[in-house]
Amino acid sequence: MADARPFHWEFVPEPVTREVFRIEGGVPLRGEVPISGSKNAALKMLAAATLTGERCRFTNVPEIEDVRVMAETLRDLGVVVDHPAPNTYEIASGDVEWLFVPLEAAAKMRASFILLGPLLARFGRVIISNPGGDRIGRRPVDLHVEAMRTLGATIEYRNGYYFATAPGRLRGTEVRFPFVSVMGTENILLAATLADGHTVIRPAAKEPEVDDLILFLQKMGADVERTYEDTIEVRGQRRLRGAEHHVIPDRIEAGTFAVAGAVTGGEVTLTGAPCEHMTAFLEVLDRAGVSARCEGDRIEIDGRGLGDGAFRAVDIRTAAYPGLPTDIQPPTSVLLTQANGDSRVHEAIFEDRLEWLTELNRMGARIDIADNQHATIHGRTPLHGTEAEIGDLRAGASLILAALAADGESTIHGAHHVQRGYENIERKFADLGARIARLEEGTISTTS
């Protein structure tokens, strides 16, 4: 694949400021908390904007590290990315100079691989690194690559990079995944919007973030529709236009703050919350005896029953939407430490997502991890303050929840992981009455 510049890239890790959360637990949280825009929706919207040379405008974009990394990655490609106001981004991809997504971006954020589909479809070529992101098990991109080949792309893998070309246009066809893949669905969906002909994707992910992406693509002039619950059909267009879109609320952030209200024995109201997207999680709260009332875009959590030992043990199993999201399993596990009796957790999506529970045990929880995907939580156990290390985004937020519920002070290392996906999390907790501060610990290399 020819390019004006020779292909050479040496990844030099940037120094990262290590930060910690200092948390004094045992304070019931009270008040209202606004729910930010969805991380998983916003990142795919920014990628979708490269399908056109016209300007796209997005509102309700969360101010988080992953969005910043995606914006910088797009700028490195030659895309014009403006940030005119908080939670607002404007993108114009008229002249993309350098169709290369480096290891640096992939190491910070797995979602950078979503650029494969739109760049390949619009420009006919791209070099993109094998992705990194959170270490919660194998999340291969083989499905994405094979599906692109089905659409007519030629893709070779060398030295950690995928070299992809599509002379002319990609060709519409039927793409059958062996199992549901959310980002796989989104990548092929983006590629198919500019392909020649009709593409059928099945089984297609049913997540609300996917439907939000479809809505934005329709605004751009794409011919996309969900014809059956698990089927998305696309009729490729020659070109798409610019559009404006308001990103949906983040159901994972909403679930996190709901658990916070419950485990601290507090009263918390979530505003701008996506009630209709949280049915499975709200059913778990109901089975556990947590009072949760949904009305419009508000969810009211009353955790005062915790003081009476009223929370009940429940068994949970993660699943693709509309099941319980894997990203909400860690916060739910914190809740189950405060339930009476034994709860069983089956993590059916990512095989290493339960490893972080060892940190919860250090705070006084009694959790038996049977294997990579099964655990038993023995409750109710009082939690106590300690030092803990954040390993990934969702585990990090969950350790904060445990520290808020614990007796005494906790120091949670690795705060930068949480900044990837939660906007102003410490300020939002502080506004609810939490005693929490984010402090600088020092500067070290990302490889240490």
User: Is the peptide bond prior to 122 cis by the omega test (within 30 degrees of 0)?
Assistant: no
pLDDT of 444 > 80? The answer is no
pLDDT digits (tens, 9 = 90+) for 212-253: 999 999 999 999 999 999 999 999 999 999 999 999 999 999
Does this model's pTM top 0.85? My answer is: yes
Q: Which amino acid is at 133?
A: G
Mean per-residue pLDDT of the chain: 91
Select from 394, 395, 367, 391 the least CA-distant residue to 381: 367
- The predicted pLDDT at position 299 comes to 97
- The predicted pLDDT at position 441 comes to 78
pLDDT digits (tens, 9 = 90+) for 146-180: 999 999 999 999 888 999 999 889 999 999 999 99
The architecture that CATH gives domain 39-234 is: Alpha-beta prism (3.65)
Spatial CB neighbours of 386, under 8 Å, sequence gap ≥ 6: 362, 363, 406, 410, 411
* Across 97-110, average pLDDT: 80
How many angstroms separate the CA atoms of 416 and 444, rounded? 12
String of DSSP letters for 231-244: EEEEE--S-----E
pLDDT digits (tens, 9 = 90+) for 317-364: 999 999 999 999 999 999 999 999 999 999 999 878 898 999 999 999
CATH dotted code for 15-36+249-445: 3.65.10.10
How many angstroms separate the CA atoms of 439 and 448, rounded? 19
Alpha-carbon 105 to chain mean position: 16
Helix (H/G/I), strand (E/B), else coil: 163? strand
- The predicted pLDDT at position 391 comes to 84
| CA separation, residue 57 to residues 78, 81, 91, 190, 441 (Å) | 17, 10, 6, 18, 37
pLDDT of 410 > 80? The answer is yes
pLDDT of 132 > 70? The answer is no
Dihedral of the alpha carbons of 17, 423, 269, 312, in degrees to the nearest 10: -60
| Radius of gyration (C-alpha) of the chain in whole angstroms | 22
- The predicted pLDDT at position 12 comes to 42
- The predicted pLDDT at position 165 comes to 96
Spatial CB neighbours of 274, under 8 Å, sequence gap ≥ 6: 35, 208, 248, 249, 250, 251, 254, 297
- The predicted pLDDT at position 442 comes to 59
CA triple 34-36-74, angle to 5 deg: 160
Select from 327, 321, 320 the least CA-distant residue to 252: 327
pLDDT of 291 > 90? The answer is yes
Spatial CB neighbours of 80, under 8 Å, sequence gap ≥ 6: 91, 92, 93, 94
- The predicted pLDDT at position 439 comes to 93
Select from 65, 64, 69, 152 the least CA-distant residue to 114: 69
How many angstroms separate the CA atoms of 185 and 232, rounded? 9
Q: Contact 265/307 with Cβ under 8 angstroms?
A: yes
- The predicted pLDDT at position 372 comes to 84
Length of the chain in terms of residues written = 448
Q: Domain limits of the chain? A: 15-36+249-445, 39-234
- The predicted pLDDT at position 445 comes to 38
Alpha-carbon 419 to chain mean position: 12
pLDDT digits (tens, 9 = 90+) for 370-399: 988 999 999 899 999 999 998 889 999 999
- The predicted pLDDT at position 164 comes to 96
Same fold, 15-36+249-445 and 39-234: yes
pLDDT of 138 > 60? The answer is no
User: Is residue 68 packed enough to be buried (19+ CB in 10 Å), middle (13-18) or exposed (0-12)?
Assistant: middle
- The predicted pLDDT at position 17 comes to 65
String of DSSP letters for 61-80: ----HHHHHHHHHHHHHT-E
Least confident of 6-15, 24-33, 150-159, 230-239: 6-15
How many angstroms separate the CA atoms of 301 and 38, rounded? 21
Percent of the chain with pLDDT over 90: 79
- The predicted pLDDT at position 347 comes to 95
- The predicted pLDDT at position 91 comes to 97
How many angstroms separate the CA atoms of 421 and 407, rounded? 27
Q: Which amino acid is at 75?
A: R
Cβ neighbours of 404 (radius 10 Å): 30
Greatest pairwise CA separation for the chain in angstroms: 69
Q: Which residue has the higher pLDDT, 307 or 25?
A: 25
How many angstroms separate the CA atoms of 7 and 126, rounded? 12
